[in-house]
Amino acid sequence: MYQISQHLFTPTNNQLLIVMKHIMLGNEAIGRGFIEGGVQVAVGYPGTPSTEILQYIIDNAGEYGIYTEWSVNEKVAMEVAIAGSVAGVRSLVTMKSVGLNVASDPINAYAYMGVRGGMVIVSADDPSCHSTHTEQDSRYHAKLAYLPVFEPSNPGEGKDMASVAFEYSERWEQPVLFRTTTRIGHSRYPVVWKGRNNGDRVPEFIRDLTKYVNLPQNARRMRQELVERMEKIKKDINNLEFNRVEGDGSIGIVASGISYGYVKEAVDKLDIECRILKISTPYPLPEEMVVQFLEDLERVLVVEEVEPIVEEGIIKIANKHGFSIPIYGKEFVPLTGELSPDIAYNSIARFLERPEKDLSKFEEMVNRISEFIPPRPPVLCPGCPHRTAFYSINRVEKKLFKKERNIVKPSDIGCYTLGYQPPLSAVDTNFCMGASVGVASGLSKLIEKPVVATIGDSTFFHAGIPPLLNMVFNRAKATVIILDNRTTAMTGHQPHPGVGKNVRGEKVPPIIVEEIVKACGVDFVRVVDAFDVKTFEETLREAVEYDGVAVIVSKGPCALLDVRDKIRAGETIPVYYVSDDCTGCKSCLNLGCPAITFDEKAGIEETLCVGCSVCAQVCPVNAIKVVE
């Protein structure tokens, strides 16, 4: 984080002021905003592109007395945050877009009840699927649950919006959905820090059975109260400072969220006179402001990412108030992918029947450059403990079924999804957290082929236990490999119940994965060293041939953490090399390790090797040796 100073003169007495600005990652700026807004409970489950919001609060929690935790999954995180709100303190829960699916049950229930302490639910959407398997638009969830939505147009506004989100949640007595996106969260922006407000409340539970016990007799009344609250919110939203109308003219452009910046840039370059409606609350829309905006316009274009939420809302308001002007959106603005300045420019140009930017030369240049740059798909790190599992699956498959690909390999969300990449190519399905075990359970009842599922330890705790119970309960015949590297690796090494330490650094009893598996009723449970190739392969073959549910727990530390800890402890990390005995058989290349090179014979890049020894174990001529 960097600091810059800005010199300003006050308009009354020309007094010089120096304003200190902090250059912050967007997610960190948003986290700072929640701190300034008085958050006292901040919880969540890690998931890109949301993780750094809560991590920033965690890093500063001690200074402000904030309770923080990485919860076991988003549903539990939502319930912990609800507890804070019920106790009267300002509470925050963070997650990525697909995590909202997991948390939707308690979200919909608490929306009926109305808040005591302010409640903000952060959902980070990922247009263009940079790190997510869907382009899910969280604003649809908000409409389902009657949650007003705040959506910043840049990281600076995100900080300011976050700091007042609790105030509006309490004013409206309703949870608020704070929708951000990858581009907002992972950009850097100068922000001004402010003081903290309302962060010193004493939590207190006040019993109210008609409010917090959601029986049908109470739910029917609360449903009516929810509808009435939303009507009040619809009126008050017109006064929110983040919504505004700018400019003038007979052409109207509505810009929601990050698209506002793109629209401003495009309008300036096109040199057009138009009226811009900046929307920061896509649901509910500020109806009075929309009506004011629509007056005397000839036509309107709505620019927003992904789904036409704002577009449909604007059309509904226009019809309600008798406007007959044409309103466009996805006819000109892409329905898929995130927007960019060029895409926004061309969308507006097409709408105005102006010449578009010719991007073909840029695309041609990119294609030409791509011809000279080798593809670099994401792969498992050198020394990753998961590599042995995928290698062994392929080896067992080849030995049992010759060259026919006869094992079905469901996998899950995490680093091990990268087992999809060649040469490992050992991931056949990937749906959502825990689905590897659930899919394996279903497939085992339907097909004759062996099924081997892979799932990580954090994901197992998140959503893998119920489907494992289902496998036992319904007498499935399948193998589950739990890849236990004692961390939540892909999102930044957050702790989970198996680590033995929580986010506050407190020592807690580690939950032992294999003990949970046994408690689920699994009889075939084997624990193997993730770096012992021979034992792993033998154990996996036994598991595949077992008539029932078989679970292998593969234990090995995440290479990134292991190397870091060894360096800090002053330990020597062994490095391997390829001797002249190499025959060029390429057996080691089947591991897909980035440290292994090949040019007629194999080689090892010493700066990448972390000494896991797996390549030395698979070499048939013992040509890979440790540097003495």
Average pLDDT over residues 598-605: 95
> Do 46 and 27 form a contact (C-beta atoms < 8 A)?
no
Same domain, 261 and 312: yes
Is 189 in the same domain as 157? yes
- For 269-355, where are the E strands, in sequence order? 275-279, 299-303, 327-328
Summarised one tens digit per residue, pLDDT across range 171-224 is: 999 999 999 999 999 999 999 999 999 999 999 999 999 999 989 999 999 999
Q: Is the pLDDT of residue 348 over 70?
A: yes
Residue 368 clears pLDDT 90, i.e. is over it: no
pLDDT band at 334 (very low <50, low <70, confident <90, very high): very high
Top pLDDT among 479 and 358 is at 479
Q: What is the mean pLDDT of residues 514-539?
A: 98
Together in a domain, 320 and 427: no
Kindly provide the residue ranges of all beta strands, DSSP E only, lying in 424-475, ordered along the sequence.
Answer: 452-456
Q: Quick one: 70 and 191 in the same domain?
A: yes
User: How confident is the model at residue 8, as a pLDDT?
Assistant: 52
Structure-block tokens of residue 189: 């922006």
Q: How many domains does the chain have?
A: 4
* 582 shares a domain with 445: no
Question: 182 near 130, Cβ under 8 Å?
Answer: yes
Name the band, by pLDDT with cuts 50, 70 and 90, for residue 136: very high
User: Final residue of a domain: which of 214, 239, 264?
Assistant: 239
Instruction: Give domain status of residue 82, yes or no.
Output: yes
- In CATH, what number is assigned to the domain containing residue 283? 3.40.50.920
Q: In terms of domains, do 565 and 578 share one?
A: no
* Pairing status of strand 524-529 against strand 576-578: unpaired
Which CATH number goes with the domain that contains 607?
A: 3.30.70.20
* Residues 528, 618 share a domain: no
For a pLDDT cut of 70, what percent of the chain falls above it? 97
CATH of the domain at 421: 3.40.50.970
Q: Which of these three, 522, 538, 569, is where a domain ends? A: 569
Please give the pLDDT value at position 371. 81
Among residues 554, 622, 561, the alpha carbon closest in space to that of 587 is found at: 622
Residue 175 and residue 114 share a domain = yes
Residue 578: pLDDT band (50, 70, 90) is very high
pLDDT given for residue 367 in this prediction = 81
Residue 589 belongs to some domain of the structure = yes
CA distance 407 to 57: 45
Q: Is residue 11 a part of any domain in this protein? A: no
User: Residue 339: which domain range?
Assistant: 244-360
Provide DSSP, 31-42: HHHHHHTT--EE
375 lies in a domain? no
Choose one of 569, 588, 616: the last residue of a domain. Answer: 569
- Residue 290: pLDDT over 90: yes
Give the mean pLDDT of 480-497.
94
DSSP 419: G
Q: Residue 325 is encoded by which pair of tokens?
A: 């002007």
Return phi, psi of residue 569, to 5°.
-85, 0
Task: Specify which residues 501 forms β-bridges with.
Answer: 507
Shared domain check, 284 and 230: no
Q: Which pLDDT does position 369 carry in this prediction?
A: 84
Same domain (yes/no): 78, 45: yes
Sheet hosting strand 299-303, strand order edge to edge = 244-247, 275-279, 251-256, 299-303, 327-328
Cα distances from 395 to residues 236, 427, 590, in angstroms, run 64, 14, 10
Model confidence at 457, pLDDT cuts 50, 70, 90, reads: very high
For 182, other C-beta atoms within 10 Å of its C-beta total 25
Q: Is residue 459 part of a domain?
A: yes
pLDDT at 118 over 90: yes
Question: Lowest-pLDDT range, 17-31, 107-121, 286-300, 452-466?
Answer: 17-31
pLDDT at 16: 58
Structure confidence at residue 551 as a pLDDT band (50, 70, 90): very high
Please check whether residues 479 and 578 belong to one and the same domain. no
Please provide the size of the chain in residues.
628
- Are 410 and 280 contained in the same domain? no
Least confident of 35-49, 82-96, 173-187, 349-363: 349-363
